[in-house]
Amino acid sequence: MELLVEDADIVTMASGAAAGQARSLLVRDGRIAAVGPAGPVRAAAGPDAQAVRLAGATVLPGLIDAHCHVSDVGYLAAGADCRQPAAPDIPAIQARLRDAASRTPPGTWVTGSGYVEYQLREGRHPTRADLDAAVPDRPAVLYHTSLHACVLNSAALAEAGLADGQPDPPGGAFGRDAAGRLDGVLYEGPMFAVFERNFRADLARMSAAQQAGLMQVAGQHFAALGVTAVCDADVRRDTLTAFAEADEHGVLPIRVYGLVVHDQVDWLLDSGLRGRHSDWLTADAVKIWADGGMSSRTAAIHGSYPVPPYGSGILSFSRDELTAMAGDFAARGFQVCIHAQGDRAIEAVLDAYAAVLAADGGRGNPRRHRIEHAGAMYPALAARAAELGIVVASQPGFLSTLGDGFAAAFPESSDQLYAFASWRRAGIAVAGSSDAPVITASPLTGIRDAVLRRTAAGQVLGPGERLTAQDALAMYTRAAAFAMHREDDIGSLEPGKLADFVVLDASPLDVDPERIGDIEVLATVVGGTPVYQSTGLFAEGGVNG
């Protein structure tokens, strides 16, 4: 079967001679058969090709999110949506939690997510009392959009074993009322513990078909934002099994490249899920965390934070431990992806990679070992990363959402955080990503932020680090494909590659950068099959042979 896309403004993102604009695209058996001017492409099509005219709409290669948490997005989608603008105040959140309670099976915590306290009309976190009023008789949890905080009702606090008078745990804190009693808000460590516990327990209660359905819903969330492929940066035995189940039943709408958490690698090797499961699912990379986060001020830095919780951040492993782990996984043929945000952590990771690559014969970085985030990768560190050929997966979209917090935590160096233009000039392959559900999964928001670098308060962080829209788009296409070893299949629209593309109502290369985040996704096509469309451009069912 053939699909002929015509009258489109096609940005191929191909390099070299194939670069430039095209008007038509021919899909045959899920791959691109031809792309270019209308005449030659039409001539290449058979008489039965299904023609779709796009009336000048923009076509880009399918957008790729090189670091996100797909399964978390899918899990939270099943609970109450408490984001803006759906839930503008606490009564709206209460109504949504009440509604979620009516459809949450017994034994499961009632779950909501997506609020930001300073965006609520009340300008504060909801409390246990607010949640008790909505869900009085069973545990309920409401996750902050950052997934660095949450609120529990009284039943949930009791089930989590948290009581008044309890001191703050290491790596976390409890919100308290004027009398010093727990107000239900949990920050950092205890929040992560609640999330992990609930997610694992809820997943374990689901049938295989329900688990596959969760991954399908998660994939659809990304597809609606123009995403056709992702790296899930936190895959464990239960979530990878669920992805595999979805893949087997043909319900994964987007391609998934799993970064498997380091302590699950032995299981991965036994499970038979290592490597390319299909064109849709691959697990050939390992994830390690070297330090904490930027917005939580737990990234390991030289010097100390001028804001709470002060200190110099947390390094999870010594450089010798990192070297041993990375060396072990590299020797077993894995791509290694290490979360490192602060300059002290990035230095330790570069030391580890230097040792591993030297021991591997000094032939560059053929497995494309990565640094995830790399927020405070200052010029000297970037030069080292470039020399070692380290790939970076980073998140421009943090700048509009979390940038004001970065400016407060890094008053002297905030202009050098997420230094995309400098990194690019140094020759580093920098893949674009969202870290969703930490922030929106929309790659168009990320592209806008790579161009504008403007915080919510209106400050531009590092004006010299702004990218052109073309270079920002390359992060979410070619560079992201490279970061997941898929550049032969995805990342640009060229004959022979998979027919993954997105149809937009405007081109991010042409509109005022302020508008890039508002561009509408008209359709998302993966392997020639429309997996999302806002209007009926394409016949349902697709043509992927």
Task: Give the span between the Cα atoms of 474 and 487, in whole angstroms.
Answer: 12
State the binding string over 491-530 for Zn ion (x if CB under 5 A, else -): ----------------------------------------
Cβ 233 to Zn ion shortest distance, Å:
5
Is residue 100 near Zn ion by the rule CB under 5 A? no
Residue 326 or 441 with smaller CB distance to Zn ion: 441
Using CA of residue 399, residue 405, residue 407, residue 409, what is the dihedral sign? negative
Query: Which residues ranging from 39 to 58 are in contact with Zn ion (CB under 5 A)?
Result: none
Which own/partner contact pairs does 534-539 have at CB distance under 8 Å and 24+ positions apart? 537/52, 537/54, 537/503, 538/3, 538/52, 539/50
Cβ 40 to Zn ion shortest distance, Å:
43
Residue 401, Cα to own-chain centre: how many angstroms? 14
Q: Say if CB 377 and CB 411 are below 8 A apart.
A: no
Residue 148 or 497 with smaller CB distance to Zn ion: 148
Q: Which amino acid is at 294?
A: M
Is residue 435 near Zn ion by the rule CB under 5 A? yes
Contacts of 448 (CB under 8 A, 6+ apart): 400, 508, 513, 514, 516, 517
Residue 274 or 287 with smaller CB distance to Zn ion: 287
Query: Which residues ranging from 327 to 366 are in contact with Zn ion (CB under 5 A)?
Result: none
Residue 475 or 522 with smaller CB distance to Zn ion: 475
Cβ 398 to Zn ion shortest distance, Å:
11
Task: Give the span between the Cα atoms of 384 and 337, in whole angstroms.
Answer: 17
Residue 65 or 404 with smaller CB distance to Zn ion: 65
Residue 61 or 443 with smaller CB distance to Zn ion: 443
Radius of gyration of the chain (CA): 23
Nearest Cα residue to 287 out of 314, 257, 312: 257
Cβ 313 to Zn ion shortest distance, Å:
16
Residues in contact with Zn ion, counted by CB under 5 A, come to a total of 2
Cβ 389 to Zn ion shortest distance, Å:
23
Residue 233 or 447 with smaller CB distance to Zn ion: 233
Q: Say if CB 112 and CB 80 are below 8 A apart.
A: yes
Using CA of residue 468, residue 474, residue 476, residue 480, what is the dihedral sign? negative
Q: Which stretch binds Zn ion (CB under 5 A): 170-178, 274-282, 430-438, 516-524?
A: 430-438
The two beta strands, 501-504 and 521-526, are: antiparallel
Cβ 373 to Zn ion shortest distance, Å:
7
State the binding string over 217-236 for Zn ion (x if CB under 5 A, else -): ----------------x---
Place of tokens 């010594």: 318
Nearest Cα residue to 138 out of 174, 176, 100, 181: 100
Cβ 187 to Zn ion shortest distance, Å:
18
Residue 233 or 521 with smaller CB distance to Zn ion: 233
State the binding string over 232-271 for Zn ion (x if CB under 5 A, else -): -x--------------------------------------
Task: Give the span between the Cα atoms of 539 and 354, in whole angstroms.
Answer: 51
State the binding string over 436-475 for Zn ion (x if CB under 5 A, else -): ----------------------------------------
Nearest Cα residue to 321 out of 289, 273, 294: 289
Cβ 433 to Zn ion shortest distance, Å:
8
Cβ 72 to Zn ion shortest distance, Å:
9
Q: Which residues bind Zn ion (CB under 5 A)?
A: 233, 435
